[in-house]
Amino acid sequence: MILGFDPLLGGHVGLVVVLIVLVKAALTLGICLIATMLMIWFERKIISDLQNRIGPNRAGPWGILQTLADGLKVILKEDLIPDKSDRLVFRLAPVLTMVPAFITFGLIPLGGDFSDGKGGAVHMFGHDTFLQLANPDAGVLVILAMSSIAVYGVMLAGWSSGSKYPLLGSVRASAQMVSYEAALGLSVLAVVLVSGNGGSGLGTLTTNGIVNAQAPWGWNLWVTGLIPFVIFSMAATAELNRPPFDLVEAEQELVGSFQTEYSGFRFAIFYLAEFLNAVTMGAIIVTLFLGGPAGPRIIGPGWLWGFVWFFLKLIVILYAFVWTRASVPRVRYDQLMDLGWKVLIPLSLGWMLLLVAIRVGSDAGWNPFLTVAIGAATMAAGYGTLNLAQRASRRNRELEGAID
């Protein structure tokens, strides 16, 4: 079995190697949980600053232990299971929301020395290794797979509660998350397209390879031309059910949607998973578009700077998440679906084809300006046709009397 192209597992797998892997697993889990705890505090603090409030300030310095206190309180509460619920699925659902996020986090390069062509490997205890739990061959695909099964938790939680608002929420959730997955996948495709590993001409799907292709300054943010980044960020926000796309839990319309019937520890798991997913998605954005742990080594050992750059970039992205939440009002459901299907998917598809044309053109020696111009003209024509088709279908429906 190939467990990915980590140099650690390339040679003889002895006791030290097994220990290193175990320590990495424990550390990843620890970082995950601590990051989630800090993320909850961070979000509450920033939101309160943006809304001219004080926010949590009692537990610990700057209220940093607030999450811990909340967690303790919620564990001591009674754990209710509604009579009409499907007991097995009701218990299973919170776990299903958390597991995919943990697995995804294991694929993110959290650090590593990407300077001077070292490819992110770090030497420790006599072995070279990447500072990520696993680096499977299908890297990005595994991330997409995990994001595609993340919908199960929300969906089953709503259904198994056996009550109306949660069910409405879970129907909304499944439609929304399945819709935005297409845009998410297509913008990842743009990243994969430009990530080759140097001279061999082979592309790569591994997270390590994608970061390596970006080191030190060839960030996919500008290599893919900003649009995939914007699309990915919007689709990620929708996948996370965060405002302005939090139709799934919209308190004013659906009480609390899939969480309505949950209490005590199971509610805490949902709460944890929500922020864990936010941290993980932020880490994916950093890895795919902002160069991950790649960055200049200023002073001291290279592996240290990997951590520094990664977490700096992560904090910037997470701040952007919170900032969006505080500034943009929630969209309507039809606006959400229109944005996903009629804007994001066509745009990401067109942009990917443009990138392909530029790529093929540079191989075949076409005039780059002409390639871009023709590509842009084709995209504009495609958009015009799409618009016409939409108008025609709208008029048809008006004639049929389906809408007024």
Partner 1 sequence: MEWFVFVAGAIICLAGAIGVVTSENPVHSALSLVGTLFGIAVLFIAQDAEFLAAVQIIVYAGAIVVLFLFVIMLLGVDSSEDIRVEPLSGQRTWAGVAGVLLAGGLVCVVWFGQTTGARSTAARNDPNLPNVTQIGRLIFTDYLWAFEITSVLLVIAVVGAVTLARHRHEALVDEPPADEIPAPAEEVAS
* CA 285 to mean position of chain CA atoms: 6
| Rounded Cα–Cα distance for residues 22 and 11 (Å) | 17
Compare residues 166 and 295 and give the one whose CB is closer to partner 1: 166
- Which range of residues in 114-122, 200-208, 257-265, 308-316 is near partner 1 by CB under 8 A? 200-208
Q: Binders of partner 1 among 83-122, rule CB under 8 A?
A: 86, 88-89
φ, ψ at 129 (rounded to 5°): -150, 160
| Rounded Cα–Cα distance for residues 288 and 313 (Å) | 12
Among 20, 171, 255, 374, binds partner 1 (CB under 8 A): 171
Note the residue count of the chain.
404
Compare residues 219 and 245 and give the one whose CB is closer to partner 1: 245
Among 22, 149, 316, 370, binds partner 1 (CB under 8 A): 149
Q: Binders of partner 1 among 372-391, rule CB under 8 A?
A: none
Q: What count of Cα atoms within 13 Å lies in the side-chain half-sphere of residue 205?
A: 12
Identify residue 166 by its one-letter amino acid code: P
Give the x-and-dash track for 204-233 against partner 1 (CB under 8 A).
xx----------------------------
Number of residues that bind partner 1 (CB under 8 A): 39
Among 37, 74, 108, 156, binds partner 1 (CB under 8 A): 156
3-class DSSP state for residue 175? helix
Among 115, 148, 263, 378, binds partner 1 (CB under 8 A): 148
Q: Binders of partner 1 among 58-87, rule CB under 8 A?
A: 86
| Rounded Cα–Cα distance for residues 169 and 154 (Å) | 8
Question: Which are the contacts of 141, defined by CB distance < 8 A and separation ≥ 6?
Answer: 205
Nearest CA-CA partner of 278 in 3, 26, 65, 42 = 42
- 167 lies in the site for partner 1, by CB under 8 A: yes
Q: Binders of partner 1 among 339-358, rule CB under 8 A?
A: 341
Question: Which are the contacts of 42, defined by CB distance < 8 A and separation ≥ 6?
Answer: 318, 322
- 5 lies in the site for partner 1, by CB under 8 A: yes
* Least distance (Å) between residue 341 CB and partner 1: 6
Decide the pairing of beta strands 121-124 and 127-130. Answer: antiparallel
Residue linked to tokens 């097994």 = 18
Positions touching partner 1 (CB under 8 A) are 1-2, 5, 86, 88-89, 136-138, 141-142, 144-145, 148-149, 151-152, 155-156, 159-160, 167, 170-171, 174-175, 178-179, 181, 202-205, 333-334, 337, 341, 400, 402
